[in-house]
Structure 1
Amino acid sequence: MTGPDEPAALHATDLGFRYRARGDRALRDCGFTVPRGRITALVGRNGAGKSTLLHLAGGLLNPTHGRIRVLGSAPGTAAARTRVALLTQDRPLYPRFTVADTLRMGGKLNPSWDRSVAERVVREGDIAPTARVGELSPGRRTRVALALALGKRPDLLLLDEPLADLDPVVRAEIMATLMAEAAEREVSIVMSSHVLPDLEQTCDWVLLLRAGRVELSEDADALREGHTLLTGHVDEEPALREHTVVRRRTHGRQLTALVRPRGPVGGDWHVERPGLEEILLGHLQEGAAAENGEAA
């Protein structure tokens, strides 16, 4: 088990990044802490800064201002490189290599290489060691890339939309592999994904970005307990003024509101406890409405 004095998986202070070629700011004034031993959902709309954040954490980019630490170390340093693995969207692999060649390369590049783990991940996908990487299906290429990442025996695994183009069956198989690794070795995982249903049962921490800023960094169970879904007559809306309304919608005279209550909610409401997917959608939709100049 990780102790209370161990450094966080990710910690950022006033973190910002600007792409100089384009001139736009991908991240600004980000401060957050992701505890160790968590499976974290990194959520946000396209352009929110998710990939930029993961590339900063993986040492592929350097902050424009502020700082970020991974397991207490600066990304890209020797201390971080041996303990952190990053799997990006493009799954960088050599297409002419066989699967066996790819795993041998992993062993040569990583001093903590665990051949048995890498081979098990490949074997569970029914992938022939003699198959060329470039001839594999997207799902099997993802599994080979994941074998490289897990064979490194990282303490922190960063995943940038690795499952986006996979069918539900393959996605479920790879998620099961990740869950088993997290449970057996207490690997901290930060996973960017647009597939919100996948996150409901797997992630226990949420990091939500909106327009380059951190809007949420919270325990998933605390998020569920801290939100309420209310349905009632529009005349009851004044009762919500003392609370944080994340998202409200009206259908005729019926009002539905996702709320973070600051105490008892007065009025005649039908009350439900929303799931994580509904909470995340509410925050993302509220963000989209604000960016478009609509009322939340």
Structure 2
Amino acid sequence: MELVLEAEALGKRYGRSWALRDCTLRLPAGRVAALVGPNGAGKSTLLHLAVGLLRPDAGAVRVFDQVPYGNTALLAEIGFVAQDTPLYRELTAEELVTMGGKLNRRWDADLARRRLAQLGIAPGKPVGKLSGGQRAQVALALALAKRPRLLLLDEPVASLDPLARREFMQSLMGSVAESGTTVLLSSHILGDLERVCDYLIVLHSAEVKLAGPVEDLLDRHRQLIGPRRVDDTPIAGVAAVVKASHTDRQSTLLVRADGDPIDPSWTVRDVTLEDLILAHLTDGGSARASHEAWGVPA
């Protein structure tokens, strides 16, 4: 299995606060990976470390088995769309495509122009006068024109309306299907991620809480509903309780199964990706605040 991104006890500190701490993960090639977590979880920091914009304060990060910081040769293999899709707003899309060809040794200007034409984006209009969705599409077209082996996207659709988000994600998936590029996509929009991503990395409080193929993670987790649980007696077939909520008469548990049959006294249900993410990001007293941060009613 080829690994595109590897982090081992990776950490980055700003002053006395750790933006990322003890981050260990492996991202296999060919995946479209969701990087999720609340604000301040360390998502942007991880992406900036992976692209070489930051130097680690602890541990190590490698991209294609190379250290990214200060490695200009590695930049040719990485496409990066930063948060808020920063572009030279006074330049036109065509001027940005031309400039990209002068700055990158491997550049597919025809691909960028073809994508922009398919989306109806005027090549001679300053990008500062385009809509937010159009600017995001220009930034994606420029990143893909590098023909990167790894594409890093930091909240590229956060400020877009639902239609623009859908068009962006459809455009992204079409390009990935053609090129086989590995994608690491940071986003708060869980519905979008569930439709397009096959790998999940959950960050919370600067640490990795969960990582792996979506299908495997969903297969290993279940929701149990049964009579009010009054103690921590082990449940047959359950490796760990991730989250528990209780009423006077009933308990609802999200658990990690161990592969054996689950105690038949519990009603067993499958979980969604949203269920899984929120369970690993919330616990007891902090559940309501964390749900609201994700735009999901508690």
Q: Provide TM-score, normalisation by structure 2.
A: 0.90
What percent identity do the matched residue pairs reach? 45
1:164-179 to 2 correspondences below 5 Å: 164-179=158-173
**Residues 1-296 of structure 1: pairs in structure 2 closer than 5 A:** 4=1, 6=2, 8-20=3-15, 23-76=16-69, 77-235=71-229, 238=233, 240=235, 243-262=239-258, 263-286=260-283, 289=286
> Which shows bigger deviation, 232-241 or 33-42?
232-241
Distance 2:269 2:83 in 1: 37
Compared with structure 1, are the counterparts of its residues 61 and 50 closer, same or farther at alpha carbon in structure 2 (3 Å cutoff)? same
| 1:149-175 deviation digits (Å, cap 9, x = unpaired) | 011110000000010011111111111
1:239 is displaced (CA, Å) by: 5.0
SS of equivalent residue, structure 2 residue 196: coil
CA positional deviation for 1:265:
2.3
Structure 1 residue 215 displacement after superposition: 1.3
For 2:284 and 2:108, the matched residues in 1 are separated by 43
Q: What is the deviation of 1:52?
A: 0.3
Render the CA deviation track for 1:164-193: whole Å, top value 9, x for unaligned: 011111111111111112211110000001
Offset, 1:288: 7.6
Deviates more, 1:232-241 or 1:85-94: 232-241
Q: Which runs of 4+ in 1 moved over 6 A?
A: none
Cα 1:271–1:236, aligned 2, differ >3 Å: closer, same or farther? Answer: farther
Deviations 1:222-263 (A, max 9, x none): 001000011111148645386311111123312111110223
Worse-matched range after superposition: 162-171 or 240-249: 240-249
In the alignment, the residues of structure 2 paired with residue 99 and residue 185 of structure 1 have an alpha-carbon distance, to the nearest angstrom, of: 22
Superposed CA RMSD: 1.9
For the Cα contact (< 8 Å) 1:236–1:267, is it kept in 2?
no
Cα deviation per residue 1:74-110 (whole Å; 9 max; x = unaligned)?
Answer: 1141331000011111322111111111111111111
Gap runs ≥5 in structure 2: 290-298
Larger displacement relative to structure 2 (175-184 or 130-139):
175-184
Instruction: Give SS of 1:240's match.
Output: coil
1:197-216 CA-to-partner distances (Å, cap 9, x unmatched) read: 11112111111112111111
Task: Report the CA distance between 1:287 and its aligned residue.
Answer: 8.9
Amino acid corresponding to residue 14 of structure 2 in structure 1: Y
Compute the displacement of 1:285 (Å): 1.6
- Specify the SS of the correspondent of 2:148: coil
Give the TM-score normalised by the residue count of structure 1: 0.91
Structure 2 counterpart SS, 1:282: helix
SS of equivalent residue, structure 1 residue 244: strand
Partner SS for 1:90: coil
Mean Cα deviation higher: 232-241 or 135-144: 232-241
User: Is the partner of 1:82 in helix, strand or coil?
Assistant: helix
Contact 1:210-1:287 within 8 A present in 2 as well: no
Does the 8 Å contact 1:228/1:272 carry over to 2?
yes
* Separation in 2, partners of 1:199, 1:287: 25
Counterpart-to-counterpart distance in 1, 2:73 and 2:26? 19
The amino acid that maps onto 1:216 is: L
**CA–CA distance in structure 2, aligned partners of residues 26 and 287 of structure 1:** 24
